[in-house]
Amino acid sequence: MRIRYFAWIKDITNKDDDVIDINHPKTIQELKKYLENLYPELRKHFLQDVLRFAVNQEYVSENLSLNPIDEIAIFPPVSGG
């Protein structure tokens, strides 16, 4: 499972992505717990509910179940155009 970071999320993680090989999270909720552990600064942004998640390049609701081959992305509100 690959987790990709965009925009200022990368300033917190200091990298573009993480790869989880074992014990991968089964839901977005579990993923958040996992990432809060790795990057405590993310916790306040999860609480504020401002970040968006995509699974395999599609926006998702939180109750979707995650698979080991998924590409997950975490990013702040967009500002294109």
Partner 1 sequence: MIKIQKKNFNLEEEIDKIKNKHSDIGAQTSFVGYVRDLNNNKDVKYLNLEVYEEMAFKELSKIENNALKKWSLIDTLIIHRYGKLNVNEKIVLVSCFSQHRKDSFNACEFIMDYLKKDAPFWKNEFYYKDDEWLENSK
For partner 1, the binding residues (CB under 8 A) are 4, 6-8, 54, 57-59, 73, 75-81
Would you say 11 or 21 has its CB closer to partner 1? Answer: 11
Q: Which is nearer to partner 1, 7 or 38 (CB)?
A: 7
Q: How far is the CB of 47 from partner 1 (least distance, A)?
A: 18
Q: How far is the CB of 7 from partner 1 (least distance, A)?
A: 4
> With left for phi above 0 and alpha for psi between -120 and 50, is residue 42 left, alpha or beta?
alpha
Q: What are phi and psi of 73, to 5 degrees?
A: -130, 140
Least distance (Å) from partner 1 to the CB of residue 4? Answer: 7
